[in-house]
Amino acid sequence: MRVARRGPRWVAPGDWNAFFVLALDNTTLLVILSSLLIGAFKFPPDLVLGRIVPGTAAGVLVGDLTYTWLAVRLARASGRDEVTAMPFGIDTPSLFGIVFGVLGPAMLATGDPILAWKIGMGVTVAMGGFKLLLAFFGDWVRRLVPRAALLGSIAGVAILLIAFLPALRVFADPLVGLVSLTLVLVALIGRVRLPGGMPGALAAVLAGAGIFWLRAAGGWGPAPATELPGLALAIPWPTLAWAETFGAVWPYLPLAMPFALATVIGGIDNTESAIVAGDEYRARDILLTEAVATIAAGLCGGVIQNTPYIGHPAYKAMGARAGYTLATALVIGVGASLGLVGILVSLLPEAAVAPILIFVGLEITAQAFVASPARHAAAVAVSFIPAVATLVLIEVNGLLASVGKGAADLTGDGRLAYQHLLALGNGFIVTALLWGWALVSIIDGRLGRAAAVFLAAGLATLVGLMHSPLPSGALFWPWSAGSAYPFLLAAGYGLGAVILALLAISSARAERDS
């Protein structure tokens, strides 16, 4: 009697643990996104919870479903049970970069949340298109851009925006915030195992929220919202509403594209990690999926890109197969469409969630130094400087607004200092990337390449990709900048390029003569 051959199993008990980790990660990011947009930038809750969150979750749905299919296909092709799907979800660094660098500034500049949302959608679609192109050239880009430059530019965002600004939320309610922060530092940084093996992030949020609600019940603190939002169906249908405002998207692309580039390079690294663990995925399939998922998110009203997550070997060690990505896709996609995120936003105080952001900022910053060669540490550090200017600008603009003033009210040295901050802060991601790239080249003795990077920096300055003197950070043609400052900066970069080129020639000649 012939026994039918059993196909590979793509669901296993380990999928349960993996599902809780991946689903909690994505749910936390959706709650953070909602809290920042509603609390910090005053976006209407209906817009955030009814369009932005479901649209962003749609990208998770598309990506995790596709990764589930890729894992099942690989298991069938290889005849192995042990194939683990690649984890996938919302990209953490770009969440904060887009909120603080695109959505927030667009909202403050226009006062129109619908327009700001459409700009965010357009930026997300553009990032997806950029990643779609890079999917075919990812390995080349990875070899070209130094890791220290790429990670350093993002680390500046991490420590100065992702970590510092939430730290202010902790000190706004220290009883809640410091308890939550303590648990985050002990469990996530110190790797101390909590009782019952409870995840550190979950324990921190529950402890902070528990203190908040017990204090409110006793009448000792601020009163929470009196009513929880109800469940409401919000299907993320595709729309082209963003297309009519695509012209307003251009000034924000210099900030957004390095984040897209980072996920492409990260996707290649994650694929290599999975191959080492025994699951031989094609990098092109992984990258094309994240590109398509990001475009889908933008078309459906989302504002944050998606990416394959670091940690495939950890999920494999849990015994996960492909069931956990399927479950995550359905829970995140359906849960966001039913309004469950709105309930969580109402239940979780900002001070309890903020420490998780501090942890994320610390981890990203530490990774930039650890994952880069030690000799490139200065290149990572120099990438922070433009982000400092952006942070100061955010705080200065907030302080001026609190007293009913604006940058136009500044005079004398104060106005001059503000203009310098504006030039250094606008396009800060591009500035950080090119500065880090140039310094890596100098450290490695590749002065000709450093000269080329300086020349590129000068050209970028002439059109406002970096150092734009305009308050909005908009791009411009060199003759329409309204200021001679871009020409002065471009000339400085040009002279620097000439010096580096001459030194490169001199060094090459000395080597030949020796």
Contact 277, 84 (CB under 8 A): yes
Return d(Cα 382, Cα 156) in angstroms, integer: 9
| pLDDT of 472 strictly over 80 | no
The predicted structure's pLDDT at residue 440:
96
Query: What DSSP character marks residue 249?
Result: T
To which residue do tokens 């009697």 refer?
1
**pLDDT at residue number 2:** 47
Q: Residue 361's beta-bridge partner residues?
A: none
Q: What is the DSSP string of 303-367?
A: -S-EEEPS-HHHHHHTT--SHHHHHHHHHHHHHHHHTHHHHHHHHS-HHHHHHHHHHHHHHHHHH
Is there a contact between 395 and 221 (Cβ–Cβ < 8 Å)?
Answer: no
For range 4-18, the mean pLDDT: 72
Closest CA to 459 of 437, 434, 423: 434
Q: What is the pLDDT of residue 86?
A: 93
Name the percent of the chain in helix, strand, coil, to the closest 5. 75, 0, 25
**How high is the pLDDT of residue 5?**
47
Give a three-class secondary structure readout of 448-474: HHHHHHHHHHHHHHHCCCCCCCCCCCC
d(CA 346, CA 359): 22
Domain limits of the chain? Answer: 14-225+239-372, 378-513
Q: ∠ CA(220), CA(222), CA(226), 5° rounding?
A: 115
Cβ-contact 436, 380 below 8 angstroms: yes
% of the chain exceeding 70 in pLDDT: 95
Look up residue 390 and give its two tokens: 């952006």
Residue 69: its H or E element? helix 53-78
CA 144, distance to chain mean position in Å, is: 22
pLDDT digits (tens, 9 = 90+) for 276-312: 788 989 889 999 999 999 999 999 999 999 999 876 8
List of residues 6+ apart from 151 with CB closer than 8 A: 262, 367, 368, 371, 372, 380
Residue 1: which pLDDT band, with cuts at 50, 70 and 90?
A: very low
The backbone torsions φ and ψ at residue 89, rounded to the nearest 5 degrees and listed phi first, read 180, -160
What is the predicted pLDDT for the residue at 229? 64
pLDDT digits (tens, 9 = 90+) for 348-369: 788 888 887 788 778 778 878 9
Buried-state track 398-429, b at ≥16 Cβ within 10 A, e below 16: eebeeeeeebeebeeeeeeebbebbbbbbbbb
Give the 3-state secondary structure of residue 231.
Answer: coil
**What's the rounded mean pLDDT across residues 485-505?**
95
